[in-house]
Amino acid sequence: MPKLRYLNLILGDQLDAESLLFDDFDPQHDRLWMAEVSAESTEYLSSKQRTVLFLSAMRHFAEQLKTDSYPLNYWTLKDKKSSFYNALSATLKHDSFEKIRCVLPGDVRVMNEIQQCANDVDIEIEWLADQHFISHKGEFKAWLADRKQPRMEFWYRQLRKSRQILMEDDQPLGGQWNFDKDNRKSFGKKGPSKLSEPLLFEADDITKQVITDVENFLPDLYGDIETFNWPVSREQALAALKDFIQHRLKHFGDYQDAMWTDEPWLYHSRLSTCLNLKLLSPAEVIEAAEKAYIDNDAPLNAVEGFIRQILGWREYVRGLYWSYREDWLQMNALNASRNLPALYWNAETEMTCLHHSVKQVLNHGYGHHIQRLMVTGLFALLWGVKPKAIHEWYLAMYVDAVAWVEIPNTLGMSQYADGGIVGSKPYIASGAYIDRMSNYCKSCPFNPNQASGDNACPFTTLYWHFVDRHQDFLSKNPRLGMQVKNWHNKSQDEQQAISQRAEYLFRNLP
Ligand SMILES: Cc1cc2nc3c(=O)[nH]c(=O)nc-3n(C[C@H](O)[C@H](O)[C@H](O)COP(=O)(O)OP(=O)(O)OC[C@H]3O[C@@H](n4cnc5c(N)ncnc54)[C@H](O)[C@@H]3O)c2cc1C
Ligand code: SF4
């Protein structure tokens, strides 16, 4: 059998028609390859929502490739290939190629698995640069090399200057690099008004078939699927972008950090899945937001706040992910050693904030940034959950989770397992923060302002317990030393009552 030229792999989060794979594709000599493999949902946990999203988006992308007459080798769940390794070796047994090509995966584990298969079959593999991102190959590495301590703010400014985004020559539009001070509003007692329901996408025939396949072949995944409403094609992704820019971007800044019971989306974009699967490029999302400002459709604080998330945080965490690669999963700067409480898998808890935030994840695979950082993440940090256990939960349960973005956010920003690479301090707070930013505490049996006694808010009790047990390290941090002083200003009786309540909670989680 004559050798073909390139076997081009397209992974589930690489649904990018502009990818380098297509540049010199020759249908006579090359093949495209995609695979649905069970280990990516079972050995490495993935919820129903996340699995259906990935597989449905893959099948939509494959349909388009077939319409465009690309020769495609596609393994479905029905083919029962357990891993990328197995699916790829089965293809290579059948056809021979000069070389495998694949854009850099979003997970170093997957990259290693594919590399291992290529080594074992003795075929060359070429890893192509991922052109989806704003920063070019090597750009972050060069920036990092010049710094003692990386900070997102300076990376973001460099990208804004070099790409001329929201800039007037070398000055930021509006004379400020950020408007964070304007962007921390809560909804007050009345709650959010003017909410416009985002465009939700009903399951089409392809998605319905995926749901049936997942139920047949992967029956034990966590979460619900009846509520599935995510964009799964390029067309739907563009519609979701337009809908956000027209209806919600203008309030994004003001209420970026606010939370409200049974309002999962508020003014957030819901675009992370489209971006992470590469149905949308960050450049086109940023351009659309910047245009809304130029056209007077959204104020600068909203547009800058939104662009900062994508141009700043998204590009920054990706750079850090690849800078530390496999090291991330070994990190545990705070020596956290507890198991993940069961409530993360079933939402069964009296703590209203956690109940609603986890329920939303089970229903939709979604929580906005502050729910992830200051409710589910904060509780795990205060409880002292092993970093790897909370990482596995985030990776499994959120529809937009891919290792390169989930790992630095969870292990770095949220759990401080990295000892200060992503951020300069752990994000710790008591229940008073959640009370200020949401209405959760109003219907909770606990009191956010109480640290001890039967009604004490577990967040508040555990916050002080955290300050106490990490006081040596916290007192060295200029921004947290005050919290240690506040702990020492409490009377011995008060300290003892808090410690006793914390010990009670560790034995009897509400
Ligand atoms: C513990 C934890 C885990 C997280 N895990 C993920 C994850 O697996 N996948 C993921 O895409 N984001 C993750 N984030 C970041 C952020 O919470 C989500 O990107 C955001 O909530 C997605 O919802 P949205 O599209 O409505 O975002 P919006 O609030 O509308 O923000 C706009 C876009 O900005 C980007 N963005 C915002 N914050 C971040 C950030 N910190 N890092 C990278 N990009 C950001 C996203 O692409 C997002 O779509 C995590 C944050 C925390 C604290
Ligand atoms: S009182 Fe505490 S546990 Fe209850 S909702 Fe508020 S922060 Fe959460």
Buried b (16+ CB within 10 A) or exposed e, 397-421: bbbbbbbbbbbbbbbbbbbbbbeeb
Q: Which ligand gives the minimal distance to the CA of 50?
A: 1
Binding site membership of 358 for ligand 2 (Cβ less than 6 Å): no
Q: Which ligand gives the minimal distance to the CA of 249?
A: 1
Q: Which residue's C-alpha comes closest to atom 7 of ligand 2?
A: 431
Q: What is the CATH number of domain 4-128?
A: 3.40.50.620
For the domain made up of 139-196+248-324, give the CATH fold.
1.25.40
**CA-256 nearest atom, ligand 1:** 29
pLDDT at 348 over 80: yes
pLDDT at 146 over 90: no
Looking at residue 180, its pLDDT comes to: 85
Placement of tokens 């040596």 in the chain: 472
| Residue 415 CA to ligand 2 centre (angstroms) | 20
Condensed to tens digits (0 to 9), the pLDDT of residues 176-220 reads 999 988 888 999 888 998 788 999 999 999 999 999 999 999 999
| Residue 429 CA to ligand 2 centre (angstroms) | 12
Q: Which residue's C-alpha comes closest to atom 3 of ligand 2?
A: 351
For the chain, percent of residues with pLDDT exceeding 70: 100
DSSP SS3 for 34? strand
For the domain made up of 343-507, give the CATH fold.
DNA Cyclobutane Dipyrimidine Photolyase, subunit A; domain 3 (1.10.579)
Binding site membership of 29 for ligand 1 (Cβ less than 6 Å): no
For the chain, percent of residues with pLDDT exceeding 90: 95
pLDDT at 355 over 90: yes
| Spatial separation of the C-alpha atoms in residues 389 and 380, rounded to whole Å | 10
Binding site membership of 271 for ligand 1 (Cβ less than 6 Å): yes
Looking at residue 181, its pLDDT comes to: 83
For residue 60, the number of C-alpha atoms closer than 13 Å in the C-beta half-sphere is 28
Looking at residue 106, its pLDDT comes to: 97
pLDDT at 279 over 80: yes
Q: Which residue's C-alpha comes closest to atom 16 of ligand 1?
A: 369
For residue 365, the number of C-alpha atoms closer than 13 Å in the C-beta half-sphere is 29
Binding site membership of 444 for ligand 2 (Cβ less than 6 Å): yes
pLDDT at 159 over 80: yes
Looking at residue 392, its pLDDT comes to: 98
Binding site membership of 270 for ligand 1 (Cβ less than 6 Å): yes
Binding site membership of 400 for ligand 1 (Cβ less than 6 Å): yes
Dihedral sign of CA atoms 294, 298, 304, 309 in order:
negative
Domain with CATH 1.25.40.80 in the chain: 139-196+248-324
Interval 484-491 mean pLDDT: 97
Condensed to tens digits (0 to 9), the pLDDT of residues 286-331 reads 999 999 999 999 999 999 999 999 999 999 999 999 999 999 999 9
Condensed to tens digits (0 to 9), the pLDDT of residues 425-458 reads 999 999 999 999 999 999 999 999 999 999 999 9
Condensed to tens digits (0 to 9), the pLDDT of residues 69-87 reads 999 999 999 999 999 999 9
Binding site membership of 40 for ligand 2 (Cβ less than 6 Å): no
Domain with CATH 3.40.50.620 in the chain: 4-128
| Spatial separation of the C-alpha atoms in residues 72 and 66, rounded to whole Å | 7
Which residues partner with 128 through β-bridges?
A: 103
Looking at residue 1, its pLDDT comes to: 66
pLDDT bucket at 60, cuts 50 / 70 / 90: very high
Looking at residue 479, its pLDDT comes to: 84
Looking at residue 401, its pLDDT comes to: 98
| Spatial separation of the C-alpha atoms in residues 76 and 40, rounded to whole Å | 13
